[in-house]
Amino acid sequence: MDFLNSACLNIETITRDIKPQEYIDGHLIPMGVPTLFGVAGGSGKTTSILKAAIGASATGKFEMFGARQHDRPLRVVLIFGEEAGDGLGRKIRYELKNMEEATTGQRSGNLKIVSWEEFNDTRENPEPLFSSEDGTLTDSGRSLWKDLIEYKPDFVAMDTLSSLSRADYNSSNVAYATMSELRKLARNSGAAVVMTAHLNKGGQDKVSPKSAPGEMLSLLKGSGSLIDAARHAIVMLFASQNAYTNLNAAEKDAPMMAAVKTNVPGCELSGSIFPVLRSHEHRNFVAIDGTGKPLIKVQKEANTAIRGVLHNNLPNYIKLAAQIRRPFAISQKSATSVETLSRAALAEFFPDNIEDGLISNVLEGLEAENIIVRCTTGRTGTGGVWDVPEGDYANQHEHEERMREIKGNKNYKLPFNAGAPSVEDFKNGLIDDGKTVKKQKSADADLHAILSKPAETPEVAKDEQDIEVPF
């Protein structure tokens, strides 16, 4: 039993601090997992990856298939096996016209672009990333992996598999070896890792939206083991102009169809062939749900509803925490990150799929409206706490003066307990008001209101209702 016991996972260890599966675009590209992305030639995959990555490195907004606003700019690394620097430069300056974002991303250290072909030209012993013999990493690949894991990127894209490897992917052993290396990179860095791959030309004209997803997935160039070895794979090719009648596409936009194979939780598009539009204007891919709505619009509508819940309830939640003397601390690093508002405590009040960036944006809005305020406590190690304008922390000097008179203690300081509160803290919390120690009735009432009467979902604004597919 010694061998078995030593090999067994500890449930408490593997579930401690575990978070739900995240998708960098909110829907289709998972973080901490490699995505094998097979796409038809001429689809604009390089341009779309550049657009999404450069924008995310400057603003934190990642748009490719879906759209997700992160609470900080993202670290991205792009490795191109076929594209030279001058070609990438032309795309950035003249096609994407996002030089300002690219410059911002690179100067901040968030954007790193590599032309593997040009890099190899400068080396005495050039080599691909993966060994031609068995699909494992070469010496160069191991060096790169080490640096990537140390850099801790949010997004890594490699384009394409055939240009970064000379291995024979008709061999199942080679396919599994390469996918294993990609899994290690994604797992150890936490990044969304995308490896693009070519499709077999034969058979593409036989696939339609009515085909089984497996038919499209089988078009990936190489052995079927590439698909088998991938935990998450997307295959996408062009569709006929009349394949989807409910798409509002412009003349130069290209309808495409995509299929997903995944072992990753939370991907609602798995097991189906769904439409994608390639935007001529925006140089990007937008996935469409089963009702014909772009996922970007679906997400905007959902975020509008969640934003209303947050806007109505966060002030009460912050007020409650301050009343029981466990206010939410504002860290020096980030005043509005969700880490300052305990995820465990928030889970009792708000939806499971709430995004960190959305909470940050709502906090910023509440602060701008003077519904909540940042308060300096004078405590070492904290950048302050959140409170409401009428709260004791917001009026610390006046409160302490009053309490010193009541208590006859010239050294009285407003109580402060570090750490975000839990629901149990709210239910059992005590407050020292200088006269008695008692349960805070107003806190109980506010807590009851939050738990028993969730905020109503606000109506979607007219400009949100009228959003069309953005092409």
**Residue 464 belongs to some domain of the structure:** no
Task: Tell me: do 347 and 426 sit in the same domain.
Answer: yes
Of residues 367 and 451, the one with the higher pLDDT is 367
* 54-58, 218-222, 385-389, range with greatest mean pLDDT: 54-58
Q: Which of 8-12, 28-32, 114-118, 234-238 has the lowest mean pLDDT?
A: 8-12
**Residue 471 belongs to some domain of the structure:** no
Domain limit, last residue, from 249, 264, 292: 292
Average pLDDT over residues 214-222: 82
- Convert the pLDDT of each residue in 390-439 to its tens digit: 988 888 888 888 888 887 888 888 877 766 666 666 666 544 444 333 44
pLDDT confidence of residue 185: 97
Task: Tell me: do 178 and 139 sit in the same domain.
Answer: yes
Task: Tell me: do 114 and 246 sit in the same domain.
Answer: yes
Q: Which of 144-158, 339-353, 402-416 has the lowest mean pLDDT?
A: 339-353
Check whether the bond before 160 is cis (ω within 30° of 0): yes
Task: Tell me: do 238 and 167 sit in the same domain.
Answer: yes
pLDDT confidence of residue 468: 35
Average pLDDT over residues 179-186: 96
Number of domains in the chain: 2
pLDDT confidence of residue 374: 85
pLDDT confidence of residue 47: 92
Task: Tell me: do 378 and 287 sit in the same domain.
Answer: no
The share of the chain scoring above pLDDT 90, in percent, equals 31
Amino acid at 459: E
- Contact predicate 77/28, CB 8 Å: no
Q: What range does the domain containing 415 cover?
A: 300-452
Instruction: Give the predicted TM-score (pTM) of the model.
Output: 0.66
Closest CA to 294 of 471, 155, 48: 471
Average pLDDT over residues 148-162: 96
Task: Tell me: do 268 and 307 sit in the same domain.
Answer: no
- Rounded Cα distance between 46 and 92, Å, is 11
Q: Binning pLDDT at 50, 70 and 90, where does residue 256 land? A: confident
- Rounded Cα distance between 235 and 440, Å, is 57
Task: Tell me: do 235 and 327 sit in the same domain.
Answer: no
**What average pLDDT is seen over the chain?**
79
Domain limit, last residue, from 267, 292, 317: 292
- Contact predicate 358/303, CB 8 Å: yes
What are the angstrom distances between the C-alpha of 384 and each of 315, 326, 378, 397, 403?
Answer: 17, 12, 8, 14, 21
DSSP state of 243: S
Count of CB atoms situated within 10 Å of the CB of 14: 8
Residue 35 β-bridge partners: 194, 232
Task: Tell me: do 274 and 308 sit in the same domain.
Answer: no
Domain limit, last residue, from 246, 263, 292: 292
Of residues 218 and 303, the one with the higher pLDDT is 218
Residue 173: CATH number of its domain: 3.40.50.300
Q: Which of 104-113, 125-134, 350-359 has the lowest mean pLDDT?
A: 350-359
Task: Tell me: do 304 and 232 sit in the same domain.
Answer: no
pLDDT confidence of residue 228: 84
Of residues 355 and 290, the one with the higher pLDDT is 355
Q: Which of 24-38, 99-113, 340-354 has the lowest mean pLDDT?
A: 340-354
User: Is residue 105 pLDDT above 90, yes or no?
Assistant: yes
Average pLDDT over residues 264-292: 76
Task: Tell me: do 379 and 233 sit in the same domain.
Answer: no
User: Is residue 357 pLDDT above 70, yes or no?
Assistant: no
User: Is residue 82 pLDDT above 70, yes or no?
Assistant: yes
Task: Write out the DSSP string of 155-166.
Answer: EEEEE-HHHHB-
**Residue 136 belongs to some domain of the structure:** yes
pLDDT confidence of residue 317: 81
- Convert the pLDDT of each residue in 358-371 to its tens digit: 777 788 788 888 99
Task: Tell me: do 86 and 65 sit in the same domain.
Answer: yes
Q: Binning pLDDT at 50, 70 and 90, where does residue 347 land? A: low
pLDDT confidence of residue 343: 55
